[in-house]
């Protein structure tokens, strides 16, 4: 009996040593897995049981109480965002090794990217897995670092879209302001036309009616008045030219050419002793861009009056329309 007792005692001592070594091995494995941000598991599908390492629970932010060795709880904790467990089961049923990338939620709701690697070690008689082992590795830092440039690009794209929208809004506001300025210039130039012409005539009449004994100061004032009126008239004419040039894209409209020439003549501010003669040949109601033609006519008529050598004269405008072209001829009875 003493020999059996000694043998039993030796076996117990050996078992104690083995248990200590096994515990130390578990500690080393757990330390390594924690340092490598990994956790392991062993799943027994037929027993509806799973063994989960503490390091895996720590990765997922769980404790043994919140994540027990229960298949349902384990599957719920590892269910991928935007997917379901059936995607993982498909790999298990195929047998052999599998390697998946999962995005799951930690216990605190923060997303975590896991590399899921496993292997079906045993199958039952029906061919279904009976023992599966695997490990999860936290790749969140690496994945987020890889996704960061894309996130920055998306943010920059959104910012660029916002700036483009803001620029479009400012361009629209600028167009409205420009249109309002053009409308004002057009209206103001027309409204100033008649008063300036009247003032110019009054200045001429005053100068003509000055008595012979008018003082040099009075005559100088009249000359200065006419000079200021001429400068204001040129300013009004330039403003009208600007308004015609800048008023948006020239629009094609139906134009009565005779009426157009007559209207432009009123803008020239020709002396009363100047006469306009319009000579026509063919139909003179056409569809064309009015603004450019109005500008050309105004320049031609103004030059005919401004460079005439006498205070009176005749300006003739010939209009001829053919199927291929419109001919406008301006001539006067002055020199040249």
- 282 and 295, same structural domain? yes
CATH code of the domain in which 54 resides: 3.30.450.20
Quick check: helix, strand or coil at residue 36? coil
Residue-wise pLDDT for 13-38, tens only, equals: 776 776 776 666 566 555 555 555 67
- 316 and 241, same structural domain? no
Poorest-pLDDT segment among 211-220, 226-235, 244-253: 244-253
Residue 180 lies in a domain: yes
Q: How confident is the model at residue 183 (pLDDT cuts 50, 70, 90)?
A: confident
d(CA 99, CA 115): 7
- 243 and 230, same structural domain? yes
In terms of pLDDT, which residue wins out, 289 or 247? Answer: 289
Residue-wise pLDDT for 61-91, tens only, equals: 999 888 888 888 888 887 776 555 665 677 6
d(CA 106, CA 100): 18
In terms of pLDDT, which residue wins out, 150 or 163? Answer: 163
Residue 75 lies in a domain: yes
Poorest-pLDDT segment among 88-92, 96-100, 168-172: 88-92
Compute the mean pLDDT over every residue in the chain, rounded to the nearest whole number.
80
CATH code of the domain in which 316 resides: 3.30.565.10
- Spatial strand order of the sheet with 313-321 comes to 274-281, 313-321, 326-332
Q: 110 pLDDT exceeds 80? A: yes
Residue 294 lies in a domain: yes
CATH code of the domain in which 206 resides: 1.10.287
Write down the pLDDT at residue 226: 84
d(CA 239, CA 233): 10
Write down the pLDDT at residue 31: 58
Domain termination residue (choose one: 248, 271, 305): 248
Q: 266 pLDDT exceeds 60? A: yes
Residue 255 lies in a domain: yes
- 99 and 173, same structural domain? no
Q: 239 pLDDT exceeds 70? A: yes
- 95 and 25, same structural domain? no
Domain termination residue (choose one: 217, 248, 279): 248
- 320 and 284, same structural domain? yes
Residue-wise pLDDT for 278-294, tens only, equals: 988 866 888 888 877 88
Domain termination residue (choose one: 195, 213, 248): 248
- 133 and 44, same structural domain? yes
- 176 and 88, same structural domain? no
The packing angle between helices 290-306 and 257-267, to 10°, is 50
Write down the pLDDT at residue 316: 92
- 120 and 47, same structural domain? yes
Quote the number of domains for the chain.
4
Residue 118 lies in a domain: yes
Residue 316 lies in a domain: yes
- 55 and 91, same structural domain? yes
44 exposed, middle or buried (CB, 10 Å; 0-12, 13-18, 19+)?
Answer: middle
Write down the pLDDT at residue 289: 80
SS3 breakdown of the chain: % helix, strand, coil, rounded to 5? 55, 25, 20
Average pLDDT of the residues in 82-109 = 74
Residue 159 lies in a domain: no
d(CA 60, CA 52): 11
Length of the chain: 336
Task: Tell me which residue range forms the domain holding 71.
Answer: 40-138
């Amino acid at each position: 009996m003493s020999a059996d007792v000694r043998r039993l005692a030796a076996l117990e001592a050996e078992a104690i040593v083995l248990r200590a070594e096994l515990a130390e091995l578990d500690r080393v494995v757990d330390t390594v897995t924690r340092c490598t941000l990994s956790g392991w598991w062993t799943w027994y599908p037929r027993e509806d049981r799973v063994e989960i390492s503490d390091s895996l629970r720590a990765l997922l932010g769980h404790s043994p109480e919140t994540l027990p060795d229960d298949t349902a709880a384990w599957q719920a904790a590892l269910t991928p965002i935007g997917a379901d467990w059936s995607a993982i089961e498909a790999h298990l049923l195929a047998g052999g090794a599998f390697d998946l990338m999962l995005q799951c939620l930690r216990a605190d709701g923060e997303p975590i990217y896991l590399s899921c690697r496993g292997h079906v070690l045993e199958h039952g008689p029906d061919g279904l897995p009976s023992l599966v082992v695997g490990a999860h590795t936290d790749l969140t830092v690496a994945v987020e670092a890889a996704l960061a440039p894309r996130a920055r690009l998306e943010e920059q794209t959104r910012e660029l879209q916002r700036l483009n929208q803001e620029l479009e809004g400012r361009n629209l506001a600028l167009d409205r302001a420009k249109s309002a300025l053009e409308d004002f210039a057009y209206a103001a130039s027309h409204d100033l036309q008649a008063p300036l012409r009247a003032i110019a005539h009054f200045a001429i009449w005053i100068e003509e009616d000055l008595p012979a004994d008018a003082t040099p100061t009075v005559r100088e004032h009249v000359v200065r008045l006419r000079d200021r009126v001429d400068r204001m008239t040129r300013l009004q004419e330039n403003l009208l030219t600007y308004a015609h040039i800048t008023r948006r894209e020239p629009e094609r409209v139906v134009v009565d050419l005779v009426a157009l020439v007559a209207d432009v003549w009123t803008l020239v501010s020709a002396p009363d002793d100047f006469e306009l003669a319009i000579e026509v040949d063919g139909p003179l109601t056409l569809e064309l861009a009015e603004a450019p033609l109005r500008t050309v006519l105004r320049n031609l008529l103004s030059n005919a009056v401004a460079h005439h050598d006498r205070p009176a004269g005749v300006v003739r405008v010939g209009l001829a329309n053919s199927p291929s072209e419109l001919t406008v001829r301006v001539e006067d009875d002055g020199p040249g």
